[in-house]
């Protein structure tokens, strides 16, 4: 059902784009009304008939586009909530590993530059004074 509505949505969008591209801007009507030519008075729909037909058709397609968008959003949210209810949350789906099975990385003893007690330097009092 959602796939069919998505295809309809794409066709509605393309139809709206095509109809908008066929329409004239507001400035083009002023030139035709003053005799600027353009041949709109000899069209199939008449001087203003084409504008009314195209704008009404665009409005109808836009309404259908919005309604289709709302239906798609509703169906999608229902489908998403059904999936969540049947499968549980992500936390519930996760597999718990017992602590005994979790590998603990053995860290090597840090190499220290600190000398041991045997290697420690003598206190300053034991150091012979520098010869003068």
pLDDT digit string, tens, across residues 72-95: 999 988 887 766 665 555 566 565
Domain membership flag for residue 17: yes
Spatial distance between the Cα atoms of 32 and 35, rounded to a whole number of angstroms: 5
Phi/psi class of residue 129: alpha, beta or left (left: φ > 0; alpha: ψ in -120 to 50)? beta
**In total, how many domains does the chain have?**
1
Distances 110 to 106, 114, 116 between C-alpha atoms, Å: 12, 11, 14
Give me 122's structure tokens: 């003598």
Give me 72's structure tokens: 């798609």
Domain membership flag for residue 117: no
Arithmetic mean of pLDDT, 57-77: 94
The mean pLDDT of the chain is 74
């Amino acid at each position: 059902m959602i796939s069919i509505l998505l295809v309809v949505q794409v066709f509605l969008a393309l139809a709206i784009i095509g109809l908008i591209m066929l329409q004239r801007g507001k400035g083009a009507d002023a030139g035709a009304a003053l005799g600027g030519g353009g041949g709109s008075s000899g069209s199939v729909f008449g001087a203003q008939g084409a504008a009314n037909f195209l704008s009404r058709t665009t409005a109808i397609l836009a309404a259908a586009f919005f309604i289709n968008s709302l239906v798609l959003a509703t169906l999608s949210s229902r489908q998403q909530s059904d999936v969540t209810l049947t499968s549980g949350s992500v936390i519930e789906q996760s597999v718990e590993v017992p602590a005994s099975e979790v590998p603990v990385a053995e860290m090597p003893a840090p190499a220290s530059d600190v000398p041991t007690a045997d290697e420690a330097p003598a206190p300053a009092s034991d150091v012979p004074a520098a010869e003068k």
